[in-house]
Amino acid sequence: MPHKQKDYFLYLPRTPERERWGVEVLGGGFARIPAKIYYPPIGHPTDHSFNYEKGRVLQSLQILCVTEGKGLLKTASNSTQRITAGSVFVLIPGEWHTYRPDPKTGWAEHWIELDGIVPRRLLADGIFSATKCVFTEGAGVGAAFMKIHPLLDGRRHASASELAVAAMELLSACAMLSGGGTNRAKHLEKIAIAERRLSSPIDGPPDLKALAKELSWGYSYFRREFKKQTGLSPWQYHLQARFSLAQRSLMTTSDTLEEIAQSTGFGSAFHLSNAFKKAFGKSPGHWREHHPPDEPLSGR
């Protein structure tokens, strides 16, 4: 029989252990607010409690998902927005906001508060923004909250790593919504295909125009979107894959430089050495000297 989620809220202190996983869960909860009931529920810390007229400002990222009822959200960057069942909204650190359920319907809300390197990077990269903060929920957000609640409401004792993984899943689902939901997922799938093509095989230069055509994208669009997602142009990505293979070969085998050059698509020891020096400021021989093979792999 499915578990009926009970109301709860929990606030957690910052700890070095939670910080080291990149995503710190600072709080979370679930509340089913009946019609004509005062909002928000009492008992929250003074820096989080608020009323609709005055609103509040938080210092960490909050994500809320409304699964029943309807209400309103207002932020410093947006006029009043209607929230309905299936809405997800993201509250940006430092941004004034206020929200409440409609007194005629109430609502059911799932929420979590996050900080850490990963949320901050998503904010810095514009994945979540103050101007676009309300989305229509996909199955991923609700499913992620269903994994998070047992870790916070006392049904399970979770480690910092478990909580971080669950929070990452929620962030990923929300990022999909902010980027266009299903269309965004298909977009990222194409980028993943391109990454695999550019990583292997490494026996020669890739035909980037043919790859773009395979993905049903124009060449310029492919280059722009690939760099936006990976931080590297398609050619730079391919070159980095070849360098990574060359480095592993230098570190873990006793193959000659000529053999490594052939297996990584550089053609000759001269071309590999020249490209390696430009990329890393040192020769392959110097690299191998400081990263000697633990055991030759040839003959295995």
Q: Residue 120 pLDDT more than 60? A: yes
- Region 266-289 average pLDDT: 88
| Percentage of the residues of the chain whose pLDDT score is greater than 90 | 45
- The pLDDT value given to residue 77: 93
- The pLDDT value given to residue 179: 59
Q: Residue 138 pLDDT more than 70? A: no
Pick the range with the lowest mean pLDDT from 51-60, 138-147, 170-179, 222-231: 170-179
pLDDT band, very low/low/confident/very high, at 292 (cuts 50, 70, 90): low
- Region 65-71 average pLDDT: 95
- The pLDDT value given to residue 156: 80
pLDDT band, very low/low/confident/very high, at 186 (cuts 50, 70, 90): confident
Tokens coding 138: 């996909």
Cα–Cα distance, 56 to 98 (Å, whole number)? 6
Tokens coding 124: 């810095």
Query: Which of 111-120, 192-201, 244-253 tops mean pLDDT?
Result: 111-120
**Which superfamily is assigned to 8-180 in CATH?**
Jelly Rolls (2.60.120.10)
CB 93 within 8 A of CB 59: yes
Count CB-CB contacts under 10 A for residue 258: 14
pLDDT band, very low/low/confident/very high, at 86 (cuts 50, 70, 90): very high
- The pLDDT value given to residue 21: 92
Q: Distances from the Cα of 84 to the Cαs of 130, 184, 251, in angstroms? A: 19, 23, 57
Cα–Cα distance, 154 to 168 (Å, whole number)? 20
- The pLDDT value given to residue 253: 86
User: What are the residue ranges spanned by the domains of the chain?
Assistant: 8-180, 188-300
Q: Residue 296 pLDDT more than 90? A: no
pLDDT band, very low/low/confident/very high, at 147 (cuts 50, 70, 90): very high
Pick the range with the lowest mean pLDDT from 100-104, 229-233, 282-286, 288-292: 288-292
Query: Which of 85-94, 133-142, 200-209 tops mean pLDDT?
Result: 85-94
Pick the range with the lowest mean pLDDT from 26-35, 57-66, 176-185: 176-185
Q: How many helices (H) and strands (E) does the chain have?
A: 11, 8
- Please write the tens of the pLDDT for every residue from 229-252: 888 999 999 999 889 888 888 888
- Could you tell me the fold of the domain covering 188-300? Arc Repressor Mutant, subunit A (1.10.10)
- Mean pLDDT rounded to a whole number for the chain: 87
- 170 three-state secondary structure: helix
